[in-house]
Chain A
Amino acid sequence: MVGMKIAGIIFSPIIGVITGLLLTGAARKMVARVEWRYGPPILQPVIDLIKLFFQRPPSHGKTFDYGLIASLAGSIVLVLFLPVGRLCPLSEGGGLLLITYLILIGPLGMALSGGEGANPYVSIGISRKLILSLGYEVTLLLILLSVMSEYDTISIFNVVRAQSENGWSLFSWPLVIPGLAYLLILPAILGVKPFDVASAPQEISSGPHVEYGGKYLALSKLEGGLSEFIGIALFVNLFLGGWSIPGSLHLPAGVLGVFLGVLVFLAKVAFVFSLNVTVSASFPRLRVEQAVKYLWSWPAFIGLVGLIIVSAL
């Protein structure tokens, strides 16, 4: 068991980073195919990263460096608390409550680092990001509360284990409502196209990333890929049953089972991500107040109704 834990601590951030990068590349390819273009190769983000790590950009001070590292470290710690398949190094304890706190460290570190650059676009981007997160976090909390009260636990690992015995919660009666609400706010959590107000390249010169070049941009790209992975992994763990396969199939025990569980998990992540990419390829960017108006109307309403029904039943 100890060996499994150490393997989880080593492998789950690596899996997160690699999956985030590959998903970004696949998203560029898919958007290109929707627009009837040929598109870049799927490994294009890796090529970009190699180039960026060779560049020598100017730094804007110590906070500029350390804020970015803190943001990346926060995301890596958050991955350790999410079960990636059956690899779940630290996720049996604090679980969902801890995640609601840790999910803020990434954007806050980015804000700290970008603010040191003293570019006006950075402060606009950060304020937009905070307004947007104000929009979706209400709904996210409602959803997490409904899941916690339905399964009577705050441990995300126990939620996944209950789903592997009783079926996925997205297809079970009261929890389908918060699941729908989560699907509605998922593009905002990931910050993809209709909700990319914080990093809009055409309006505010890519917002918090405007002063990043070279290795800073590379680190922020890694962080972006990781946070995309986290947003989807949380959904897959809470509503799509983590590693479990529907029907009477069960994964074998031992190392092979862990490996297959990770593969099943990543397949689900890729599926949910491709849904979001089709959304982002077909809708134009919303303004900030339009995004908040949308987030506080339907998803919040559905989330609230879901919480009431779950706690009444």
Chain B
Amino acid sequence: MDRRQLIKWLKEPLKMSNKYSLHVVYFCTGCGIIEIPPSITARWDAERFGVKPVATPRQANLFLITGYVSLKTLKPIIRTYEQMPAPKYTVAFGSCPIDGGMYWDSYNTINHLDKYIPIDGYIAGCMPRPEAVFAGITHLWTLIDEGKADGYKKYRRNYSQYRSNQERLYGELGWPPRFETEGLENE
């Protein structure tokens, strides 16, 4: 952990502050939410790394999706993701958001969450224990350091594709496009 290295702070304040001030909004889908209370309370204490739960997506920059995603919950997930301000990271828990997991042939569950919103990292397991959550957070730090956690840029660049994937599920989405769908490939 390089939180105390002042030179790094002066060189890259954006990266460093995003690393050590991850404000989290949890989306309680499925079983993974039960791993969150131990990791933020006295047993594992995520707050010592600056990871803090907040109540609204406007204040958050890390989005944890904790478990399988049904068709009904995908809509609020997309809206929550679009409401978060710009440098934002998404981490999905468990096997289910990766490829459907044990719900791979369910009629009501998304198999690949990555098609609908960009995911910066997965924590594999069914379910991951809090140690795995911490390993995921520290790995997210290295991703931010190397500039690889750029899901929000990817979302903006390929918005027309994401939007068409979302519309294939629901037909009409019920809200206007977040970005212009044409002519963003050059940005």
Q: Of the listed stretches B55-63, B71-79, B94-102, B108-116, name the one at the interface; the rest are far from the partner chain.
A: B55-63
With A36-B42, A44-B21, A214-B85 known as contacts, the answer to whether A51 contacts B56 (CB < 8 A) is no
> Residues of B at under 8 Å CB distance from A?
3, 13-14, 16-18, 20-21, 23, 41-42, 45, 47-50, 52, 54-56, 58-59, 61, 84-87
Q: Which of B45, B48, B49, B87 contacts A55 (CB 8 A)?
A: B87
The distance from the CB of A287 to the nearest CB of chain B, in whole angstroms, is 18
- Chain A residues 24-44 with CB under 8 Å of chain B are 28, 32, 35-41, 44
Q: Of the listed stretches A135-143, A165-173, A198-206, A301-309, name the one at the interface; the rest are far from the partner chain.
A: A198-206
User: Could you tell me the distance between the alpha carbons of A214 and B85 in the complex, rounded to whole angstroms?
Assistant: 7
Task: Evaluate contact between A44 and B50: CB separation under 8 angstroms.
Answer: yes
Residues of B within 8 A of A37 (CB): 41-42, 45, 47-48
Q: Which of A28, A40, A209 contacts B59 (CB 8 A)?
A: A209
Task: Evaluate contact between A51 and B61: CB separation under 8 angstroms.
Answer: yes
With A36-B42, A47-B17, A47-B20 known as contacts, the answer to whether A41 contacts B59 (CB < 8 A) is no
1/0 per position for A207-235, CB-CB distance to B under 8 A?
00111111001000000000000000000
Question: 14 more A-B contacts (CB under 8 A) besides A37-B48, A51-B17?
Answer: A32-B47, A32-B48, A48-B17, A50-B13, A54-B14, A55-B87, A205-B55, A206-B54, A210-B56, A210-B58, A211-B58, A212-B59, A213-B59, A213-B85
Residues of A within 8 A of B55 (CB): 201-202, 205-206, 210
Categorize the interface residue count of chain A. 20 to 34
Does A246 touch B at the CB level, under 8 Å? no
Task: Evaluate contact between B42 and A55: CB separation under 8 angstroms.
Answer: no
Task: Evaluate contact between A51 and B18: CB separation under 8 angstroms.
Answer: yes
The distance from the CB of B165 to the nearest CB of chain A, in whole angstroms, is 24
Residues of B within 8 A of A62 (CB): none
Task: Evaluate contact between A39 and B58: CB separation under 8 angstroms.
Answer: no
Does A57 touch B at the CB level, under 8 Å? yes
Query: What are 19 A-B pairs at a CB distance below 8 A?
Result: A32-B45, A32-B48, A37-B45, A37-B48, A39-B48, A40-B48, A41-B50, A47-B17, A47-B20, A48-B17, A48-B50, A51-B21, A57-B58, A57-B85, A201-B55, A206-B59, A210-B56, A211-B58, A213-B59
